[in-house]
């Protein structure tokens, strides 16, 4: 049961991180190929894409800890 819950938390997080990294790489590639994106705008957009990745990783780590502690099974008793 725990393995199913872990996979339910890990798979969407990994897919979303891969998607955001793809967007970041695509944006970086196109901005350097075109060369018309101002540096401050590039930095702001890059940070705007990178922060959700960090947040997803933090949420995933907390969710894995919660599943391993068994808090969900304990909460079902009430």
User: Is 20 or 72 the better-scoring residue by pLDDT?
Assistant: 20
- 16 touches 56 (CB < 8 A): yes
Predicted confidence (pLDDT) per residue in 6-60, tens digit: 888 899 999 999 999 999 999 888 888 877 778 888 899 889 989 999 999 999 9
Domain count along the chain = 1
Q: What is the model's pLDDT at position 1?
A: 64
Beta strands, E only, the chain: none
Q: What is the model's pLDDT at position 21?
A: 94
Cβ proximity of 16 and 59 under 8 Å: no
Q: Distance between CA 78 and CA 74 in Å, rounded?
A: 8
Residue span of the structural domain in which 47 resides: 2-75
């Amino acid at each position: 049961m725990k393995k199913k819950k872990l996979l339910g938390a890990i798979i969407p997080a990994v897919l979303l991180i891969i998607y955001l990294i793809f967007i970041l790489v695509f944006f970086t590639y196109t901005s350097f190929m075109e060369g018309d994106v101002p540096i401050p705008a590039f930095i702001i957009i890059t940070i705007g894409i990178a922060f959700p990745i960090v947040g997803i990783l933090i949420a995933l780590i907390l969710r894995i800890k919660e599943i391993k502690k068994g808090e969900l099974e304990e909460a079902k008793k009430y």
